[in-house]
């Protein structure tokens, strides 16, 4: 017994000694910088089926027959002796934005004839959910009925409905039904019964249950992930999608607003981008257009940040630029967008916003000039753009591109030039190895605080430990990001915004990995990287405060990374610490400069045994934050950071 007590005392003596040496001092009254409300945000791009087939809840693929191959996603079917013909008709004079429609002729009195849609790699159907079918129809001959059938993978009829009595003019018809079973890869049959000919367009099926129950709206589970991040901003619509492979393929916001059937579909630039990941059925229907993006931003409490094309196509593809004499057109699009978002309802574009259902302005405060553009050609266009926007809207903050990398010749030229020009914000992108993130935690320590501010607009650690798809979102990558983000946060005096990229990936249709959130037709899960983002964005604080170890910021010595903030509204000191060691490490944290400190802190801990670990559809919460409480004695807490872990410690305080 005596021996045990001796051992125990020796152990406790060692521990106290170690933690005494490992003392972190937090000075709450030493404010380093305010943290911008926009600090942690979201990057949304229609890549990996993020929009069509993803967040936009439409279940029918190629609903308006405008894909390059007009019947892609559709298959002719004949049932019970039915027979007939399909004819794709193009009437650009009548419907310039959506010129094609389908003529279906049923030649038999008995049986059914028509076509079947496969959805976006199958339709995700839930038991007992209501589904709303709609279609534009014009009768040509006879009195055929439309039969709608939802069919499960085993051939089971999940639901059915019918429509009839069509007029000779185009009109939208609707019918709803409830599914009797769940199926992740259902298909939709649209059949004519009886002899006759009709023209159809915009064949559509939506679940009744959507985000905020909006008709023909967004997938609720996917938007919920975004809302739960409590993001400071949402950047949209990309990404390279802004630039397009060539200028004709660029994102043009005006084509994405107004009535759905008049939005002009285009090919998605990720359709053919990667030879090993060809996605021939990837198009943009623009059901999720700029109005819906603004609404989404408002719903989740994020500042909208649209990025506009400034007359330059993707420089990795065609690298085409608009003649500088034609820059006016691009500038006008930007000015009109500000009017669409903020203008009075008596203005042309403000009136459209009101007609779409939002008379109140969206209060747009910032906008991006191009994505990943570089070179003198960018500077030339950027100057013209900035001059025109600032002349009319001096308070709109402009985000400027620094190219594709946070270093190198391209970056240095743009960064130097844009800073000399007094740019508001400069957008930096880095998709690098986890080691880069660890080595660059001090990346912003010496940036000028007075000049242009930084938007870390796209970043993700690309681990080589695990190769394919969702496995790339392993714990190694998330921990490296957590460590690096202490540096972003510590430098909140110059880093005003940051967003992980890309955001979403469909497990059966992705082009780019890693990604923050993975989904299939029915389910979705958050990656460890998501939880890191969430631990930052829901604990961002209002001010960075001093936190030192041995008189230095905690930026990689002994493989530990840390930063502290105070939240003057919530009255909390929040400490973030990433331990990138394979062993645990102990610290004493001394808190100074406060009127009163609670005797308990809450610690959110994110960790996993193996750095190759991931979340997936089978174990979606394999890695997720867990909470524990820690005692505080006087003004000190003793903590043990587990191996490979990220901790957020929240301490209720009274501020002097």
Residue choice 372, 428, 489, 572 for contact with ligand AHR (CB under 6 A) = 372
Q: Are strands 157-163 and 171-178 parallel, antiparallel or unpaired?
A: unpaired
Closest approach, Cβ 309 to ligand AHR, in A, equals 13
Cis peptide leading into residue 237 (ω within 30°)? yes
Which residues 6+ apart lie within 8 Å of 337 measured at CB?
A: 253, 290, 306, 308, 349, 364, 367
Q: Among candidates 103, 185, 111, which has minimal Cα distance to 150?
A: 185
Residue choice 54, 82, 487, 502 for contact with ligand AHR (CB under 6 A) = 502
Measured from each CB, the residue nearest to ligand AHR is 239
Please give the Cα distance from 481 to 487 (Å, whole number): 10
Counting Cβ atoms within 10 Å, is residue 419 exposed (0-12), middle (13-18) or buried (19+)?
middle
Please give the Cα distance from 483 to 461 (Å, whole number): 11
Counting Cβ atoms within 10 Å, is residue 632 exposed (0-12), middle (13-18) or buried (19+)?
buried
Q: Among candidates 461, 442, 511, which has minimal Cα distance to 611?
A: 461
Closest approach, Cβ 476 to ligand AHR, in A, equals 20
**Closer of 240 and 565 to ligand AHR (Cβ):** 240
Closest approach, Cβ 47 to ligand AHR, in A, equals 6
3-state secondary structure 183-249: EEEEEEEEEEECCEEEEEEEEEEEECCCHHHCCCCECHHHHHHHHCCCCCEEEECCCHHHCCCCHHH
Contact flag: residue 239 with ligand AHR (CB under 6 A): yes
Hey, which residues does 549 pair with through a beta bridge? 24, 552
b vs e for 517-529, b when ≥16 Cβ sit within 10 Å of the residue's Cβ? bbbbbbebbbbbb
Contact flag: residue 305 with ligand AHR (CB under 6 A): no
Please give the Cα distance from 294 to 296 (Å, whole number): 5
> Which span (8-16, 238-246, 277-285, 638-646) binds ligand AHR, by CB under 6 A?
238-246
Q: Which one-letter DSSP state was computed for residue 361?
A: -
Closest approach, Cβ 311 to ligand AHR, in A, equals 17
Please give the Cα distance from 309 to 378 (Å, whole number): 11
**Closer of 231 and 238 to ligand AHR (Cβ):** 238
Residue choice 428, 458, 489, 572 for contact with ligand AHR (CB under 6 A) = 458
**Closer of 460 and 632 to ligand AHR (Cβ):** 460
Q: Are strands 23-34 and 585-592 parallel, antiparallel or unpaired?
A: parallel
Contact flag: residue 426 with ligand AHR (CB under 6 A): no
Contact flag: residue 240 with ligand AHR (CB under 6 A): yes
> Which span (52-60, 112-120, 236-244, 595-603) binds ligand AHR, by CB under 6 A?
236-244
Angle (CA) 186-191-196 rounded to 5° is 170
Residue choice 501, 526, 565, 574 for contact with ligand AHR (CB under 6 A) = 501
Residue choice 512, 518, 531, 587 for contact with ligand AHR (CB under 6 A) = 512
Closest approach, Cβ 290 to ligand AHR, in A, equals 18
Q: Which one-letter DSSP state was computed for residue 40?
A: B
**Closer of 131 and 512 to ligand AHR (Cβ):** 512
Which residues 6+ apart lie within 8 Å of 17 measured at CB?
A: none
Q: Spell out, one character per residue from 382 to 411, where the chain touches ligand AHR: x when CB under 6 A holds, - when not.
A: ----------------------x-------
Catalytic positions, please? 372
Closest approach, Cβ 460 to ligand AHR, in A, equals 8
Q: Spell out, one character per residue from 123 to 162, where the chain touches ligand AHR: x when CB under 6 A holds, - when not.
A: ----------------------------------------
Contact flag: residue 304 with ligand AHR (CB under 6 A): no
Closest approach, Cβ 316 to ligand AHR, in A, equals 8
Contact flag: residue 575 with ligand AHR (CB under 6 A): no
Structure-token match 């010129």, residue found = 99
**Closer of 59 and 307 to ligand AHR (Cβ):** 307
> Which span (128-136, 233-241, 405-413, 564-572) binds ligand AHR, by CB under 6 A?
233-241
Handedness of CA 184, 299, 239, 41 (dihedral sign): negative
Contact flag: residue 481 with ligand AHR (CB under 6 A): no
Contact flag: residue 428 with ligand AHR (CB under 6 A): no
Contact flag: residue 562 with ligand AHR (CB under 6 A): no
Closest approach, Cβ 504 to ligand AHR, in A, equals 11
**Closer of 238 and 487 to ligand AHR (Cβ):** 238
Backbone angles phi, psi at 163, to 5 degrees: -135, 145
Question: Which residues between 37 and 66 bind ligand AHR (CB under 6 A)?
Answer: 45, 47
**Closer of 502 and 556 to ligand AHR (Cβ):** 502
Which residues 6+ apart lie within 8 Å of 29 measured at CB?
A: 545, 592, 593, 594, 656
Residue choice 22, 189, 309, 371 for contact with ligand AHR (CB under 6 A) = 371
Please give the Cα distance from 334 to 180 (Å, whole number): 48
Closest approach, Cβ 242 to ligand AHR, in A, equals 8
Contact flag: residue 370 with ligand AHR (CB under 6 A): no
Quote the tokens at residue 346.
């008596």
Binding footprint of ligand AHR on the chain (CB under 6 A): 45, 47, 238-240, 371-372, 404, 458, 501-502, 512
């Amino acid at each position: 017994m005596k021996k045990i007590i001796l051992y125990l005392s020796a152990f406790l003596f060692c521990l106290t000694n170690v933690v005494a040496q490992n003392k972190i001092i937090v000075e709450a009254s030493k404010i380093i910088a305010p943290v911008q409300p926009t600090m942690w945000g979201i990057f949304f791009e229609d890549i990996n089926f993020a929009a069509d087939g993803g967040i936009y809840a439409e279940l029918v693929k190629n609903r308006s027959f405008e894909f390059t191959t007009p019947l892609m996603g559709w298959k002719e079917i004949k049932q019970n002796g039915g027979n007939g013909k399909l004819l794709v008709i193009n009437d650009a004079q009548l419907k310039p934005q959506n010129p094609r429609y389908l003529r279906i002729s049923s030649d038999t009195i008995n049986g059914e004839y028509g076509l079947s849609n496969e959805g976006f790699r199958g339709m995700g159907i839930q038991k007992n959910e209501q589904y709303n079918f709609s279609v534009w129809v014009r009768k040509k001959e006879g009195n055929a009925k439309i039969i709608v059938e939802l069919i499960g993978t085993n051939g089971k009829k999940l639901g059915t409905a019918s429509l009839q009595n069509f007029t000779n003019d185009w009109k939208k018809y609707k019918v709803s039904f409830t599914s009797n079973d769940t199926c992740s890869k259902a298909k939709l049959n649209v059949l004519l019964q009886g002899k006759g000919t009709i023209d159809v367009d915009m064949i559509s099926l939506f679940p009744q249950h959507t985000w905020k129950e909006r008709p023909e709206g967004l997938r609720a589970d996917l938007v919920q992930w975004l809302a739960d991040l409590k993001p400071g901003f949402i950047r949209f619509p990309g990404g390279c999608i802004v630039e397009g492979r060539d200028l004709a393929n660029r994102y043009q916001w005006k084509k994405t607003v107004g009535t759905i059937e008049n939005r002009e579909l285009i090919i998605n630039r990720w359709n053919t981008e990667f030879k090993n990941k060809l996605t021939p059925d990837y198009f943009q229907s623009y059901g999720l257009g700029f109005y819906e993006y603004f609404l989404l931003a408002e719903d989740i409490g994020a500042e909208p940040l649209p990025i506009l094309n400034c007359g330059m196509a993707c420089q990795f593809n065609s690298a085409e630029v608009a003649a500088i004499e034609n820059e006016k057109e691009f500038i006008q699009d930007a000015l009109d967008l500000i009017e669409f978002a903020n203008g009075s309802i008596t203005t042309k574009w403000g009136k459209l916003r009101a007609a779409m259902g939002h008379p109140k302005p969206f209060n747009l405060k910032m906008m991006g000039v191009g994505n990943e553009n570089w070179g003198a050609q960018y500077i030339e266009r950027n100057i013209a753009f900035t001059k025109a926007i600032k002349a009319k809207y001096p308070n709109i903050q402009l985000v400027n591109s620094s190219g594709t990398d946070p270093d190198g010749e391209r970056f240095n030229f743009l960064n130097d030039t844009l800073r000399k020009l007094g740019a508001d914000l400069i957008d930096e992108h880095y998709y690098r190895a986890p080691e880069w993130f660890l080595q660059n935690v001090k990346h912003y320590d010496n940036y000028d605080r007075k000049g242009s501010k930084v938007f870390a607009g796209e970043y993700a650690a690309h681990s080589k430990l695990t190769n394919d798809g969702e496995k790339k979102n392993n714990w190694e990558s998330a921990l490296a990001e957590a460590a690096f983000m202490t540096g972003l946060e510590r430098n909140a005096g110059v880093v005003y915004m940051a967003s992980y990229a890309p955001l979403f990936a469909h497990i059966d249709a992705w082009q780019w990995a890693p990604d923050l959130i993975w989904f299939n037709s029915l389910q979705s899960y958050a990656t460890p990287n998501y939880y890191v983002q969430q631990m930052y964005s829901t604990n961002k604080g209002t001010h960075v405060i001093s936190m030192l170890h041995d008189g230095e910021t905690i930026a990689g010595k002994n493989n530990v990374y840390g930063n502290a903030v105070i939240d003057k509204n919530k009255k909390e000191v929040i400490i973030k610490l990433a331990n990138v060691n394979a062993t645990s490490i102990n610290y004493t944290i001394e808190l100074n400069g406060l009127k009163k400190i609670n005797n308990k802190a809450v610690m959110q801990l994110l960790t996993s045994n193996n750095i190759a670990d991931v979340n997936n559809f089978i174990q979606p919460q394999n890695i997720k934050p867990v909470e524990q409480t820690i005692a505080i004695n006087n003004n000190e807490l003793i903590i043990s950071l587990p191996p490979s872990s990220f901790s957020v410690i929240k301490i209720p305080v009274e501020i002097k």
